[in-house]
Amino acid sequence: MGELYVPVSIESIQADIFPDVALYIKSGGKYILYKSHGRNFSSQDAARLMENKVEFLFVSPADLEVITAYMENNAERVLKDDTLEAKTKGKIIYQTSINFVGDIFEHPQKVSDFSRSQRMVENLLQYLASDRDSFQSLESVMTHNYYTFVHSLQVTALSVLLHAEAYLLSHDEMLDVGIGTLLHDFGKVFVSPAILSKEGKLTPKELEEYRKHPEEGYQYLKKNTKLSDISLGVVRCHHERNNGNGYPQGLKGPEISRSAQVAAICDVYCTLTIDRSCRKALSSSIALLIMKQEMKGSFNERLLDTLEGIVCCDNPAQFL
């Protein structure tokens, strides 16, 4: 995703409470300054942009903290507003984050998959918003570490596509899978932000704390929400590995639920292919090569092949 420019839906900008940050427009993959610090963003600006079919403006990494705080408050306001329907609440959270979902596709011309996963994630968020406990859990992830929230959306977008290709899932099961995946890293709210954003290797002690997140997330969500066993399984087992080398339980192959196997693959794939400041993103073919060779035995090979069919572009005929 390059540097973490944060997309802000124009509809969600409330001129009176919006912070004084520079705003950018994305054009041809570049960010162009639209409004500098100190200049107000007026309702006329919003109207003009919407007339020109611009839906999102972007905030630069320099203002990440300010905009994250605004979005936290906005999410809290939205969540507490009883006059808003669940559908609207989900849509507002979706609008603040959906541009990141596109980053999982190396080839944006693969429009059909992109819009399909966007729709699925939008439906999931609207559904999740109807359950206060689950929605608050997602909000906690968003406010604790924004990168984790963005990453969770990306893993979910890919996971629903991979499930749809690999299995015949009922609508209800797809919802359970999607919600479990949206919340798969919930346990990171118990990990210190310094560890989550540390660049470079974690010390053994830090690694031990980090590795508690699947079990702690599972225990908390089991106790405090009505998430299904399928969803909870994704949260607890997304770091298990096919060969038993994962954690927290060291489960092997079929002992790991298929949705947790899918989540594990999508989690690693998104981590390898999406840029973070400390490491350059890899192409989809290199990422898959690493997962198939260096990490051989870690993942279900049939699912890896299915993922390859979704994300690689060896066959141009599959693109629109």
* Contact stretch for Fe ion (CB under 5 A) within 25-33, 87-95, 109-117, 185-193: 185-193
- Least Å from the CB of residue 263 to Fe ion: 9
Number of residues that bind Fe ion (CB under 5 A): 1
- Least Å from the CB of residue 6 to Fe ion: 22
* Contact stretch for Fe ion (CB under 5 A) within 106-114, 171-179, 180-188, 303-311: 180-188
* Complete DSSP assignment for the chain: --S-PEEEEGGG--TTT-----EEEEETTEEEEEE-TTS---HHHHHHHHHTT--EEEE-GGGHHHHHHHHHHHHHHHHH-TTS-HHHHHHHHHHHHHHHHGGG-S-TT-HHHHHHHHHHHHHHHHHHHTSHHHHHHHHHHHHH-HHHHHHHHHHHHHHHHHHHHH----HHHHHHHHHHHHTTTGGGGGS-HHHHT--SPPPHHHHHHHTTHHHHHHHHHHHHS---HHHHHHHHHTT--TTS--SSS---GGGS-HHHHHHHHHHHHHHHHS-BTTBPPPPHHHHHHHHHTTTTTSS-HHHHHHHHHHH--S-GGG--
* Contact stretch for Fe ion (CB under 5 A) within 50-58, 99-107, 137-145, 182-190: 182-190
- Least Å from the CB of residue 42 to Fe ion: 42
Per rule CB under 5 A, is residue 45 in the interface with Fe ion?
no
Bond into 204 cis (ω within 30)? no
- Least Å from the CB of residue 213 to Fe ion: 6
- Least Å from the CB of residue 144 to Fe ion: 13
Would you tell me how many other CB atoms lie within 10 Å of the CB of residue 55? 14
* Contact stretch for Fe ion (CB under 5 A) within 2-10, 12-20, 177-185, 288-296: 177-185
Per rule CB under 5 A, is residue 185 in the interface with Fe ion?
yes
* Contact stretch for Fe ion (CB under 5 A) within 10-18, 178-186, 243-251, 292-300: 178-186
Which residues, numbered 108-147, are part of the site for Fe ion (CB under 5 A)? none
Per rule CB under 5 A, is residue 216 in the interface with Fe ion?
no
Q: How far apart are CA 181 and CA 157, in angstroms?
A: 9
Complex with Fe ion: residue 114 or 269, whichever CB lies closer: 269
- Least Å from the CB of residue 148 to Fe ion: 8
- Least Å from the CB of residue 239 to Fe ion: 6
Complex with Fe ion: residue 91 or 236, whichever CB lies closer: 236
Complex with Fe ion: residue 33 or 207, whichever CB lies closer: 207
Positions in the binding site for Fe ion (CB under 5 A): 185
